Structure 1
């Protein structure tokens, strides 16, 4: 039986069908590859950390530095007993205004009184002995002139007279010492002020010159006060003559008081790293109290070289304080900076930054030098910190 051969038309149609099928398969594979590449590129881009940036701003007007401080009276004295005895009476209690020389209390000193009487009696005795010795010495000098006694004996009488005069001087000094102590039986205010403490009462035994003895009274002059402010070493240069500070105290919320610089310790305390500055405070209405805790507001001079950034931009690592900068190629550079002033939510930087730097805000903890990052669509590199 003869074999039927395909017609030429049929062969042409089959070839075209196969070609079309190949084109369709090839296009599909190419489209699939392109889509896969796009997905991979999108995934890679989304895997990059997204950051927001800003430019450092000029520090602008200097801020106040808030520091703890305390107030002390312009003058303050603890009154101790100089003589022993019993408290006979006190005349002023705490809160009383006193004047210079005003009597605060009287001490009864029977032992001292007896010692003074004995000293006065010894003085009289010494004076009598000195008078007799002097009379005897004069007589022996007259006898020596007539050669009735030996010169040795006359010289002895003269020496006795001189010794008697020395005994008189010693007795007078002892008597004057006890008389001076008698004056301390009365306790007096050393200056005008207010009695801020009384630690004794009538009949109490008073021990003089006792190292463990408590003060009997305390007097303070509160018409003026001293404000002491420990200034950190970094800001010691801000303390200068003519400086005025404001301060507040807890018992007067919302009220600011003012003080003028009067001096400083001129040395940094090695234990605290601070310079103690003293300011003079007027207190005409007695609103401020000695011993008050205060918060002083120290004005700082403006530094044009400083730049301001938010504290959220800082990175704390083993290499010290750093910030993350973004370069023009989207890569990170970690830059060490120096903090000139910490204002809490803001920092003033004096080393390590330029105004043109693009600083990353809230950098991720894992961010490393050279990492590639992507700036968010809402990136604020034009925003001033």
Structure 2
């Protein structure tokens, strides 16, 4: 039997016993704190990503705006089709068939001239005379030296012949015979040298008279009576040109080089003879394309026995070719640079391209393009001076432009 009255013994609670009167304890939840930190980090990451993406977007927009602002604004329009042509015209330089400056070959003073500018002279005509007193005296001296040499040579030859006749009989020594024989040979050479000097001075003396080298016209006279004339090309005395036949030189674009035939008839026109056509003949070409201009140099000869045409003038040379399509563009669209005549075009990607073209007729406001353009090209109407190949451009809407590229009605 147990003792339940002992106050020192506390009752032991059993499992399932009601403990509502015992103090309650809060449980610890570490997962909630971790989740909060993760959420905060995600918010910071989202804000950072938003800022980075926003900055990238702004940079892209700035770059796009900068490119659009930097790209020059141009007006690009398709060229107007022109009438097909079977002939092209090029400028030609007219030159004399023979062109020669005349200089003095001896020094002295001009005593007389016989023909002035514009004079027609025949080959061998005396143009002028030069006085050369020093040369005349040199010739007298040289002739005297020649006489001395000839006398010495004659005496030496006689001595040598005499010794050679006595040598077989042993009347003279062999050494003396050889000495006089060699002396005769040396004096004979001295005679040849003196005679050559006389001939040289005579040739120089013949240059005292200046003769026309060919049939032609005196186009310049740069000397007068009493003036000192020096030998060489320092001072030109006369200038002559042969004008019975003239040469016309022109540069034909490479694309037409195969259509040129030697001997073909070529029409020529001159501004001083409006409405009149002269006929020449294509006589020769350079047979090589100039790499700088991509052209072929050709020569056309034209008869000029009447003297109507003048060397140094400008001719229009008319060449016939197969029919080809042409285009009409404003003169302001033409670009003149070291590479030649070009126009600027714009592709579908708004990239500018520089195309070499060949100009046909030019009326001052528009030009005819016979080579270089094709259907579908858009030509820059007034290209900036800084335009380069492959440059990005900003074509403006042609509808907002008036005729000739000027702003249309209602545009600011």
TM bracket, shorter-chain basis = 0.5 to 0.7
Question: In 1, are the aligned partners of 2:104 and 2:230 still within 8 Å (CA)?
Answer: yes
- Supply the distance in 1 between the matched residues of 2:79 and 2:207 (Cα, whole angstroms): 74
Do residues 80 (structure 1) and 103 (structure 2) align? yes
Q: Quote the offset at 1:86 in angstroms.
A: 0.6
- Tell me the C-alpha RMSD between the 2 structures: 3.8
- Against the structure 1 CA distance between its residues 166 and 336, is the aligned structure 2 distance closer, same or farther, given a 3 Å change threshold? closer
Do residues 66 (structure 1) and 106 (structure 2) align? no
- Supply the distance in 1 between the matched residues of 2:93 and 2:132 (Cα, whole angstroms): 40
- Supply the distance in 2 between the matched residues of 1:151 and 1:363 (Cα, whole angstroms): 104
- Supply the distance in 2 between the matched residues of 1:254 and 1:315 (Cα, whole angstroms): 31
Question: In 2, are the aligned partners of 1:81 and 1:207 still within 8 Å (CA)?
Answer: yes
- Against the structure 1 CA distance between its residues 129 and 222, is the aligned structure 2 distance closer, same or farther, given a 3 Å change threshold? same
3-state SS in 2 of match to 1:246:
strand
Q: Quote the offset at 1:291 in angstroms.
A: 1.6
The total of aligned residue pairs comes to: 303
- Supply the distance in 1 between the matched residues of 2:203 and 2:273 (Cα, whole angstroms): 47
Give unpaired runs (5+ residues) of structure 1. Answer: 1-50, 326-331, 374-385
- Against the structure 1 CA distance between its residues 253 and 140, is the aligned structure 2 distance closer, same or farther, given a 3 Å change threshold? same
Q: Quote the offset at 1:278 in angstroms.
A: 0.8
Do residues 258 (structure 1) and 279 (structure 2) align? yes
1:140-189 deviations in whole A, cap 9, x for unaligned?
Answer: 11221221222111111100000010011111111111111121111111
3-state SS in 2 of match to 1:301:
strand
Give unpaired runs (5+ residues) of structure 2. Answer: 1-75, 335-342, 383-392, 400-412
Q: Which residue of 1 aligns with 2:140?
A: 117
3-state SS in 2 of match to 1:251:
coil
Which range moved further: 75-84 or 130-139?
75-84
Name which of 116, 123, 129 aligns with 1:106: 129
Name which of 295, 302, 313 aligns with 2:315: 295
Q: Which residue of 1 aligns with 2:158?
A: 135
Question: In 2, are the aligned partners of 1:337 and 1:351 still within 8 Å (CA)?
Answer: no
Q: Which has the higher contact order (CA 8 A, sep 6+)?
A: 1
3-state SS in 1 of match to 2:84:
coil
**TM superposition score normalised by structure 2:** 0.63
- Supply the distance in 2 between the matched residues of 1:53 and 1:111 (Cα, whole angstroms): 78
Name which of 324, 329, 335 aligns with 1:311: 329
Alignment of 1:254-293 (within 5 A): 254-292=275-313
Alignment of 1:290-369 (within 5 A): 290-292=311-313, 294-303=314-323, 307-311=325-329, 322=345, 341-343=358-360, 345-348=367-370, 353=375
1:179-232 deviations in whole A, cap 9, x for unaligned?
Answer: 1112111111111111111111111111112x42x2111222111111111223
Name which of 144, 149, 165 aligns with 2:188: 165
Which range moved further: 146-155 or 237-246?
237-246
Name which of 174, 177, 181 aligns with 2:204: 181
- Supply the distance in 1 between the matched residues of 2:79 and 2:221 (Cα, whole angstroms): 63
Q: Which residue of 2 aligns with 1:3?
A: none
- Supply the distance in 1 between the matched residues of 2:333 and 2:240 (Cα, whole angstroms): 53
Q: Which residue of 2 aligns with 1:22?
A: none
- Supply the distance in 1 between the matched residues of 2:230 and 2:123 (Cα, whole angstroms): 25
**TM superposition score normalised by structure 1:** 0.67
Q: Quote the offset at 1:74 in angstroms.
A: 1.4
